[in-house]
Structure 1
Amino acid sequence: MNLTTRATTPELMDDLNLATEELRQNLDELETINTWLGGYRPVLAALTRLRPQLPPGRPLRLADVGSGGGDTLRRIAAWARRRGVPVALVGVDANAFMLDYAAAKSQAYPEISYVQLDIFAPEFAAQPYDVLTASLFCHHFTDAELVALLRRWQQQAQVAVVINDLHRHPLA
């Protein structure tokens, strides 16, 4: 069995106009899986390591690209609150349903906002952030798209780009 081949078949979340109960259930399941299996740990550990490099005197500007249900941002907000780190967190997604869902679940987090943007558009690239995160998002793109995105993100993020993803295999 060769597990080096990357799957490229579309997933449910690749439909940017999808607004169904199935998608809502999928977002809920992702949050449960991330909670129980430590899916947030890589991003939070990276932020802990980066903390000495974070800009003093103003909130950390962080965007979660492909923010989905906003669960990663809520975990980052909780991490920041426990440590007294002021933050301005932005969830960026192309799917309006996901953004509405995430905003509804994030009402207790005024430090989080959500915006519908095309991450390939100049409007997104013009937004300055200290840190860009992408959790379970990059596998949705081709290799060529990823190279282009990573080059842009490297220029856009003042401190770091933090990616937490998986390798999609046809058998998975």
Structure 2
Amino acid sequence: MTPDLSTRAADARELMDDPDADLRMLERTYARFPLINALVSRWRSVYRRDIRPRARRGPIRLLDVGAGGGDVSRALAAWARRDRLEVSVTALDADPRAVRWANGRGGRVEYRCARTDDLVGAGERFDVVVSNHLLHHLEADELPALLHDTIRLTADDGLVLHRDIARSRFAYRAFAAGTWPFSRNVLADSFIRDDGLTSIRRSYTAEEIAGLVPDGWQVRGQAPARLELRWEAWDARP
């Protein structure tokens, strides 16, 4: 049965966010993220559209905020290496469990356990700042802080991209149907299916998040069931 998706389920909680979550299931979840993100998140097209053109002009630094197990960070670094481009990738997450697990996966990525305000305080700057499936995890007061910090972390001609799920009945039904055949094999003993459905319930629609973001941000809805917050320095700064 499809739940009511007319409003955001802000009080729903994902199992993997529990500090006491089963570590074996959590690590199995991290291990399955590359498959899920390859199917639904479309970072290869983002790399081609936004990251590769910048890197062709010279070396760049890229920050992945809320990187979790780091699969998106490793993918971006690997695509840049194949194109013989200098992209220094930092994967940032405040959860030490994620950073410990990701550190064992290498991929020429720097993994850091910290928050965005820690990097702001240290004066860090990046040419591109991205996040994947982070926005729906945030509490109401955390979203403005994230947007503020990621702007402050960008270089003078920098780019910020926050990409997430767009809540819809289609997204919920498609994810439920698509993951059901794999719930007892590939996705077994992980939080992927349960948390994925909760993620959709917690996610914003493009219209909802457009009413929350400050001036200077572009909100783009993309098929199927995706949204993107985009901030570019040359467009937004006076």
How much does 1:19 deviate?
6.7
Residues 55/19 of structure 1: CA separation in 2 closer, same or farther (3 Å cut): farther
Larger radius of gyration: 2
TM-score, with length taken from structure 2? 0.60
**1:1-172 matched pairs, under 5 angstroms:** 2-8=4-10, 9-15=12-18, 20-35=23-38, 37-39=39-41, 41=42, 43-50=43-50, 51-54=52-55, 56-57=57-58, 59-106=59-106, 109-110=107-108, 112-119=109-116, 121=117, 123-125=118-120, 126-158=123-155, 159-166=158-165, 167=167, 168-169=200-201
| Unpaired stretches in structure 1, ≥5 consecutive residues | none
SS of corresponding position for 2:146: helix
Segments of 4+ moved more than 4 angstroms: 16-19
Report the aligned-residue RMSD.
2.3
- Identity of matched residues, %: 32
- Structure-2 separation of matches of 1:12 and 1:94: 17
Q: CA offset at residue 164 of structure 1?
A: 1.8
Ranges in structure 2 where 5+ consecutive residues have no aligned partner: 168-199, 203-238
TM-score by structure 1 length? 0.81
Deviation at 1:17, TM superposition (A): 6.7
Take 1:4 and 1:156, find their aligned partners in 2: how far apart are those partners? 34
Aligned residues: 161
Question: What's the secondary structure of 1:62's corresponding residue?
Answer: strand
Q: Quick one: structure 1 residues 99 and 118, their matched pair in 2 at CA, closer, same or farther if it must change by over 3 Å?
A: same
CA positional deviation for 1:29? 2.3
Specify whether residues 25 and 152 from structure 1 end up closer, same or farther in structure 2 by C-alpha distance, changes over 3 A only: same
Distance (Å, rounded) in 1 between the aligned partners of 2:56 and 2:44? 17
Q: CA deviation at 1:114?
A: 0.5
